[in-house]
Amino acid sequence: MAKRRNSRGRSRRAKPLPTEPINLTILSLSHEGRGVGKCDGKTVFVDGALRDEQVTAKITFQRGKFDEACAITIENPNSDRVSPPCLHYGNCGGCSMQHLSNSAQILHKQSILEEQLAHFASTKPKEWLQPLQADLLAYRRKARLGVRYVSKKEKTLIGFREKYSNFLADIESCVVLDKRVDAILMPMSHLIDEMDTRQFIPQIEVTCGDDSVAIIVRHLQPLTEKDRGLWLSFGQQQQIIVFLQSKGPKTVTRLWPIEDKDAVLSYKLPEFDLEMLMEPLDFSQVNASINRKMIPLAIELLDLKPEDEVLDLFCGLGNFTLPLAKNVKRAVGVEGVIDMVDRATMNAKHNGLTNVEFYQADLAGDLTDQPWISYNFNKVLIDPARSGALEVIPNIVKFAPERIVYVSCNPSTLARDTGELVKSGYELIKAGVMDMFPHTSHVESIALFVKKK
């Protein structure tokens, strides 16, 4: 029997989907922002539906335990329903919650954090922090954009995937991308249309600093001289930094401007009189306006004193470490990627800071021989990847810091690690969410742990 491949890349036997729409009441919202209802006792996740709405929906996918559907009509719209600001919202999967008001979005994200803490750690903070919000549109300074030349349409698509699909959405603009990036989407599309190797450009990565924009053009075959000339002229005309990438990260080379070797990206932290230098592949916070609010909040939660010695784990290019150093006796940043350690060290020198040190270490490994392990840290900040900080917690608690601030991009691993910190003698005092990625299901959060006396 013939098989087909579903939107998540798995093969299954072909089975006709129901053609008749279904009617159901939406009982709740899933973590990714889909309405959750029941039809004949079976759970249905409905794209585009909100809590308490009566919807007519079309089944788009079926599994044994649940179905997926798309809302066709809404009879009684939820009071938090709004008109999406993006014309491509129904098709593009870059955002999933534009039909929900911003205030309701952030409350939904807080409810997810609350649920995860209860489920994995059987706890909640003594105080919920006020949700942190800032720019809601044109906030995204970093993105990996898919590229595909469609010969049947004789056009190049650039952007994010369609909802629940591996196909690229056909868009002409994006309201969440930095305006400088949005402005060059169509010019880049037209440029690729003219390339000899247009079929071999799968991705363009964009990174924005305060004063400049960089793109990395991924190519699966060597570019012709004509193609290199097109991108060179594009960089000159648009005044953006252009890099080319043939394979992995080590193959990234600058195409323009060649003559200005010091042309790098940077962003400022005005409250701390700091300028952070970075390369386009460096990890940096996507939402600059939230970042500028998040750092002072972390410092406030740590309750820094001039005599403090602070450890910043997963420090990256020093985004938190340098502001910490402005307020304490000594700050130490530790990071697993040596290139980021070098960048952080460069940023300390660039900003004239001498009370800060950076080290490379595998934070999931044995740290006993690290030169910084004998320091007397009394406060710790951690900002791990989505996998969390479970392996490093035993090393953190050895310092017996008075306060630990945990910045998280995954509420489930934060909740799991909260359980470990509670077992190790810490109390969850404060926690809250930060809207780093408005209109998406991404939940960024921050938590304060204080050692029990």
Query: What does the pLDDT look like over 385-423, one tens digit per residue?
Result: 999 999 999 999 999 999 999 999 999 999 999 999 999
Mean predicted confidence (pLDDT) in 124-144? 97
Q: How many CB atoms lie within 10 A of CB 203?
A: 16
Distance CA 349, CA 316 (A): 15
Query: What does the pLDDT look like over 190-242, one tens digit per residue?
Result: 999 999 999 999 999 999 999 999 999 999 999 999 999 999 999 999 999 99
Q: What CA–CA distances, in Å, run from 399 to 250, 308, 322? A: 37, 13, 21
Query: What does the pLDDT look like over 335-394, one tens digit per residue?
Result: 999 999 999 999 999 999 999 999 999 998 889 899 999 999 999 999 999 999 999 999
- Residues 290 and 434 sit within 8 Å (Cβ to Cβ): yes
Distance CA 111, CA 346 (A): 40
- Residues 230 and 195 sit within 8 Å (Cβ to Cβ): yes
| Confidence band, pLDDT 50/70/90 cuts, at residue 10 | very low
Same domain, 444 and 299: yes
HSE, CB side, 13 Å, CA atoms: give it for residue 144: 6
Distance CA 48, CA 374 (A): 54
Decide if pLDDT at 2 tops 50.
Answer: no
Whole-number pLDDT of residue 453: 84
Mean predicted confidence (pLDDT) in 240-258? 92
Give the residue among 412, 413, 408, 395 at the shortest CA–CA distance from 448: 408
Q: Which of 70, 174, 208, 409 is catalytic?
A: 409
Per-residue burial over 301-332, b = 16 or more CB atoms within 10 Å of its CB, e = otherwise: bbebeeebbbbbbbbbbbbbbbbbbbebebbb
Tokens of 206: 């964009």
Decide if pLDDT at 3 tops 60.
Answer: no
Give the structural domain span for 66.
3-74
Is residue 406, in this structure, part of any structural domain at all? yes
Query: What does the pLDDT look like over 321-331, one tens digit per residue?
Result: 999 999 999 99
Same domain, 297 and 401: yes
Same domain, 247 and 393: no
Same domain, 67 and 189: no
Burial class (CB in 10 A: 0-12, 13-18, 19+), 438: buried
156-159 long-range contacts, Cβ below 8 Å, gap at least 24? 156/188, 156/189, 156/190, 156/192, 156/193, 156/198, 156/201, 157/189, 158/185, 158/188, 158/189, 158/192, 158/204, 159/92, 159/94, 159/185
| Confidence band, pLDDT 50/70/90 cuts, at residue 19 | confident
Is residue 242, in this structure, part of any structural domain at all? yes
Question: What percentage of residues in the chain have a pLDDT greater than 70?
Answer: 96
Same domain, 375 and 430: yes
Q: Across the chain, what does the average pLDDT equal? A: 94
CATH of the domain at 31: 2.40.50.140
Question: What percentage of residues in the chain have a pLDDT greater than 90?
Answer: 90
Decide if pLDDT at 15 tops 80.
Answer: no
Residues in the chain: 453
**What's the pTM?**
0.93
Same domain, 153 and 116: no
Same domain, 41 and 167: no
Distance CA 413, CA 445 (A): 11
Whole-number pLDDT of residue 143: 97
Per-residue burial over 214-246, b = 16 or more CB atoms within 10 Å of its CB, e = otherwise: bbbbbbeeebeeebbebbeebbeebebbbbbbe
Q: Which of 231, 262, 293 is the last residue of a domain?
A: 262
Decide if pLDDT at 9 tops 70.
Answer: no
| H helical segments located in 36-116 | 102-116
Query: What does the pLDDT look like over 158-169, one tens digit per residue?
Result: 999 998 788 999
| Active site (annotated) includes residue 409 | yes
Pairing of strands 127-128, 426-434: parallel
Same domain, 290 and 237: no
Whole-number pLDDT of residue 14: 57
Mean predicted confidence (pLDDT) in 66-85? 95
Query: What does the pLDDT look like over 266-288, one tens digit per residue?
Result: 999 999 999 999 999 999 999 99
Decide if pLDDT at 108 tops 80.
Answer: yes
Whole-number pLDDT of residue 415: 98
Number of structural domains in the chain? 3
Decide if pLDDT at 5 tops 60.
Answer: no
Same domain, 45 and 121: no
Q: Which of 262, 277, 301 is the last residue of a domain?
A: 262
Decide if pLDDT at 118 tops 70.
Answer: yes
Same domain, 334 and 403: yes
3-state DSSP helix/strand/coil % of the chain, to nearest 5? 25, 30, 45
Q: Say which residue the tokens 């990565």 belong to.
A: 205
Q: Which of 262, 295, 326 is the last residue of a domain?
A: 262
Whole-number pLDDT of residue 248: 84
Same domain, 335 and 422: yes
